[in-house]
Structure 1
Amino acid sequence: MKNRKYLTPSEVEKLLEATLHSTHAERDYCLIWMCFIHGCRVSEISSWRLSDIDMEGNNIYIHRLKNGFSTVHPLYMRERKSLRLWLNKRKQYRGADSDWLFLSNRGAKLSRQRIYWLIRNYSEAANLTINAHPHMLRHGCGFALADRGIDTRLIQDYLGHRNIQNTVLYTASNAQRFKEVW
């Protein structure tokens, strides 16, 4: 299983639990959960701005990279709760007046490299059997959606794929899709 390229929902939960004991618990919990729930690439999540979030309308603008389809996703209840906790704590950070959603200690946007470092350290703290990295959260989202029986085209739109061939990876290995065949 060391060659697996995604995290399971239970592994994501272990990562989230590991954040609770850190100095930046609210930020890191929110970052990992949002990266997973929206299937974001590390560059997409590091570039999120406060202006991308509409707490009253309960949605977030997802600007996809790599020529993907950008779209608006709903904010889910657990996510809204973690966002509120982070936004409240964020007020104490240097650079709190900037528009970047996730801030570093220095008040700048959290870099891609730092996010990689965080995920790797949390995977060690959570005693995961694989060395996690941010893209495993994106793939984990795709597989989790497929496991829930979500239509391939909807997964394609949700992840911002232009080509369906990038999406079938998630549904092709899902045995659940055969459950209702007969």
Structure 2
Amino acid sequence: MYSGNICASMRFQPMPVNLPALPFSAKSASGAAPPPKQTANREREYLRSHEVEKLIQAARKVGRNGNRDAAIILLMFRHGLRTAELVALKWSQVDLRAGYIDIRRAKHGHDSIHPLRAPELRALRQLQRDYPDTQYVFVSERKAPLSTRSIRQIVARAGLLAGIPFPVHPHQLRHACGYYLASCGHDTRAIQDYLGHKNIHHTVRYTQLSPQRFENFWTD
């Protein structure tokens, strides 16, 4: 690599060269407006609860790891897990006897402890039987932690098999959790704590689209 001092010390007489006119100059390009943001090809950025159930059923019927893949989708939805949070989940965070799970949030979010209900408890106990003696909850057949890429593939495949009319990605399950809790009329602050949002503005998006806000507008 040559520095500016070296280039400046090279003394030569440049030969005149006739170059074709460029369609734009560096000066004009720097002041140009940025290209418009590409919109997603999905109809919406969240899934409805009945669509999540379809994903779970579809994932359970595929391959040798159907129970594991169904449990992935169930826990991501029920606890609003990001992909990074799911793959980092360890059995030391899960208390099957007391029915609690220690959620450790990524992106400097607020950690919390969530209750585990019967569907999750059954799924987690099945995982312990299928993949014994593992440190991480979700592992491959070789008992290695799943990658975030594997989770994206599992969820996308389930979306195709379930007949969801747009591409499905894991973060839609986190949004599905938020919208579901808001539609049930839960307090915005409680949803914020449940999802681990540092800023409540990230939570308000769910309550803004909740139909519960307008239930009493018409009384007939």
Same fold (TM over 0.5): yes
Kindly state the Cα deviation for residue 180 of structure 1 after the two structures are TM-superposed. Answer: 4.0
Paired residues for 1:17-166 under 5 Å: 17-22=57-62, 23-91=64-132, 97-166=133-202
Counterpart check, 1:7 vs 2:47: yes
Q: Which moved more, 1:1-10 or 1:123-132?
A: 1-10
Kindly state the Cα deviation for residue 105 of structure 1 after the two structures are TM-superposed. Answer: 2.4
State which structure, 1 or 2, has the greater radius of gyration over its C-alpha atoms: 2
Deviations 1:58-95 (A, max 9, x none): 1000000111000110001111111112211112xxxx
Aligned alpha-carbon RMSD (Å): 1.4
Aligned length: 177
Deviations 1:102-125 (A, max 9, x none): 001222101100000000011001
Match of 2:212 among 172, 176, 179: 176
TM-score (norm 1): 0.93
Contact 2:127 2:137 survives alignment (8 Å)? no
| Whole-angstrom distance in 2 between the partners of 1:166 and 1:36 | 17
Kindly state the Cα deviation for residue 16 of structure 1 after the two structures are TM-superposed. Answer: 0.6
Structure of greater relative contact order (alpha carbons < 8 Å, 6+ residues apart): 1
| Whole-angstrom distance in 1 between the partners of 2:116 and 2:169 | 23
Deviations 1:25-49 (A, max 9, x none): 1111111100100001000011000
1:124 is aligned with what amino acid? L
- Equivalent position of 1:94 in the other structure: none
Contact 2:100 2:116 survives alignment (8 Å)? yes
- Equivalent position of 2:29 in the other structure: none
- Equivalent position of 2:21 in the other structure: none
Larger proportion of helix: 1
SS of the equivalent of 1:61 reads: strand
| Whole-angstrom distance in 2 between the partners of 1:84 and 1:54 | 11
Contact 2:76 2:174 survives alignment (8 Å)? yes
Kindly state the Cα deviation for residue 126 of structure 1 after the two structures are TM-superposed. Answer: 0.7
SS of the equivalent of 2:164 reads: coil
| Whole-angstrom distance in 1 between the partners of 2:157 and 2:149 | 12
**Unpaired runs of 5+ in structure 1?**
92-96
1:164 is aligned with what amino acid? I
Identity among equivalent pairs (%): 39
SS of the equivalent of 1:105 reads: coil
SS of the equivalent of 2:186 reads: coil
